[in-house]
Amino acid sequence: MSLVLSPMDFHHRVARLLRTNPGRVDFMLMVVLFLFLVVPLLLASGPGIEVLVSTALVLPLAWRRTRPVLSAGIVAGVSVFQLSLGIWPVFAQIAVLVSLYALAAYAPRWASLGGLTLASVGCLAGVLRYGEGYGINPFQAGLGSLPFLVIVLVMVEAVVLVCWAFGDLTRNRRLTLKAMEDRARRLEVERQQERDLAAADERSHIAREMHDIVAHSLSVIITQADGARYASAQNPAVAPATLATIAETGRASLREMRRLLGVLRGDEEASTRPLPVLADIPTLIETVQRAGLTTSYTVKGTSRRELPAGAELTAYRVVQESLTNVLKHAGPDARAVVEQVWTPRGLSLTIDDDGRGAGADPTSAGAEQGIKGMRERVRLYDGNLAAGAQTGGGYLIEAFIPYTEA
């Protein structure tokens, strides 16, 4: 691994250091300016008013970024004090330009513009106040010195304006970087929220599929096993047929489970296997009839257009879950009626039974979850589902899935 830093890497590291440690960097700048501007003056002329003014101008630069308004205010106050007493300008006067840059870069907008105005007026007053020392005195000389005065004023004001402009550019860049960082942070939060929502939706989808597959198959298996246990004592010939139904139901459930797990693993072959559709409802009816539930199935009308594959799967799952609930909660000798009606608006499904109803079964807590899952499935296709116990006994489920308009 190379230990040599490229100029770009060095620049980024320096910029990161300056951005993350403003207090330390400003303190070091103040120390350097103090050593180069104040200490030589102290050694050359000894303690005096010039040294005091220079120190007062340099020291506030230690917090020019952390507290820019306070720092610039002290520098401005010292400059006004110096100007009012006529103290000759010192090299530490450069602190005025540094403070103006800091105001433009880090202070509020009102302070930035106020600092620019104050610095411009101060420079004008300084030129008029100390111009005589440089051969510029418009109050005594004639018009011959006026052009030179204008040139000096333009140059001084240009320096002030350039310092402020660089500070304002730094301010705009800092605000832009902050806005980009905030936007990146918001995008990351939004992406995480989207991932969480997608994961929750997928978990809900998997839970519905698992419930539909496992609950139905186990209900059929349990019903057949219980029936075979009691019937075989009177008629042993019932056992082979019942065991065959249990085996067939178990194999079908296993195939569905493998398909679902194949989709979760990203198995393309598994994901392209056909899903149950409306044409498979008669097979489902035969399965529950073999489980001992007397069921009738009727189809009325013809479809105006085809439903999406997902909508047909939803209709199949509604019938499957409804008949599973009848097997589990309706009690013995229950009868179920499944009616599939095609209307001009879509598909209407009615599943009615004459049993005791899920509400009368103390173990019917799972039925409510199944109905909730059915309702969620139907809503995905802009449909609706109503379910409830009937006054005379039994349970009624009505679902409607509209056509998907192009």
3-class SS string, 78-103: HHHHHHHHCCCCCHHHHHHHHHHHHH
Q: Is residue 231 part of a domain?
A: no
**Which CA distances in Å does 110 have to 106, 160, 165?**
11, 17, 15
* Strand 346-353 relative to strand 294-300, pairing: unpaired
Cα 18 from Cα 34, distance rounded (Å):
20
Residue 233 tokens, joined: 């004592």
Q: Is residue 179 part of a domain?
A: yes
Sheet holding 384-389, edge to edge: 294-300, 335-342, 346-353, 395-402, 384-389
Q: Is residue 276 part of a domain?
A: no
Residues 23 and 142 in one domain: yes
Structurally, the chain folds into a number of domains equal to 2
**Per-residue pLDDT tens over the stretch 260-310:** 666 565 555 544 456 788 888 998 888 888 877 889 999 998 888 888 877
Q: Is residue 233 part of a domain?
A: no
Q: Name the residue with tokens 């000798």.
A: 333
Q: Is residue 130 part of a domain?
A: yes
Of 132, 160, 190, the position where a domain reaches its end is 190
Q: Is residue 361 part of a domain?
A: yes
Of 190, 213, 237, the position where a domain reaches its end is 190
Residue 269 tokens, joined: 């072959």
Of 145, 173, 190, the position where a domain reaches its end is 190
For residue 298, the surrounding DSSP H or E stretch is: strand 294-300
Residues 46 and 157 in one domain: yes
**Per-residue pLDDT tens over the stretch 210-264:** 666 666 666 667 776 766 666 666 767 666 777 777 777 777 666 666 666 665 6
Q: Is the dihedral of CA 26, 31, 35, 37 positive or negative?
A: positive
pLDDT < 70 positions in the chain: 1-12, 15, 18, 132-146, 202-220, 224, 226-233, 235, 237-239, 252-274, 357-367, 405-406
- Residue 342, SS3 per DSSP: strand
Residue ranges of alpha helices (H) inside 211-337 are: 216-234, 238-264, 268-271, 281-290, 309-329
Q: Is residue 283 part of a domain?
A: no
Residues 165 and 48 in one domain: yes
Torsion of CA 36, 39, 44, 47, to 10 degrees: 150
pLDDT at 253 (0 to 100): 67
**Which CA distances in Å does 99 have to 25, 96, 122?**
15, 5, 14
Residues 65 and 182 in one domain: yes
Structural domain including 106 reads 7-190
pLDDT at 361 (0 to 100): 55
Neighbour tally for 117: CB within 10 Å:
10
CATH code for the domain in which residue 397 is found: 3.30.565.10
Q: Is residue 370 part of a domain?
A: yes
Neighbour tally for 250: CB within 10 Å:
14
